[in-house]
Amino acid sequence: MKRLKIITLLSLLLLSVHIVAQSQTTSADDICGTYLVESPISDDVVKIQIYRANNGKYQGRFVWLSQSTNPDGSPRTDIKNPDPKKRNRTADQIVVVWGLTYQDGEWINGSIYDPNTGKTYSIKGKRAKGSNDMEMRYYWKKPVMGLNTTWKRI
């Protein structure tokens, strides 16, 4: 009888550990959602919606900008884009994050476009511990040459 109680107790313990472990795992689509992002290099604050693209990778687009107009009141456009054909597009037409793939709890191999400079950087990220926010790293060529920022899920 004592042996049966021990086996039952151990079984329940293993089951509860398995349930807790499953609830803390990250899945690829956990990145999907809208984030409030403060630019680490300017006064801009934007909202970026991340979603799974048709190719299975994750990308994001602007859904709101704190500075959506120029000083003259006209809509901000992508005037610094290296491709002259894209310079008239408005913020809501810009895919600013693309190519993110999920691997081992991180989203890697992505690109992020900065319309303030017209430059594209690499990006990777992971969920912040204990929250739904994302810890993102923007970098040029290698992750050690970059900066970190937190995207706050809204």
Structure tokens at 36: 């409030």
For 79-102, the pLDDT digits (tens) are 999 999 999 999 889 999 999 999
CA distances from 141 to 61, 69, 120, 122 (A): 23, 32, 11, 7
| DSSP helix/strand/coil, 46 | strand
- Burial status of residue 123 (CB atoms within 10 A of its CB: 0-12, 13-18, 19 or more): buried
* Beta-ladder partners of 142: 140
* Residue 139 · residue 146 · CB < 8 Å: yes
Residue position matching structure tokens 């009141």: 73
| Percent of residues, the chain, with pLDDT higher than 90 | 70
- Determine the Cα–Cα distance for residues 47 and 42; give it in Å rounded to an integer: 15
CB 68 within 8 A of CB 104: no
Cβ-contact 16, 88 below 8 angstroms: no
| Nearest alpha-carbon partner for 52 in 92, 89, 91, 97 | 97
Give the whole-angstrom CA distance, residue 125 versus residue 149.
9
| pLDDT tens across the length of the chain (154 residues) | 565 455 544 454 444 444 434 445 679 999 999 999 998 777 889 999 999 999 999 999 999 999 999 889 999 999 999 999 999 999 889 999 999 999 999 999 999 999 989 999 999 999 999 999 999 999 988 888 899 999 999 9
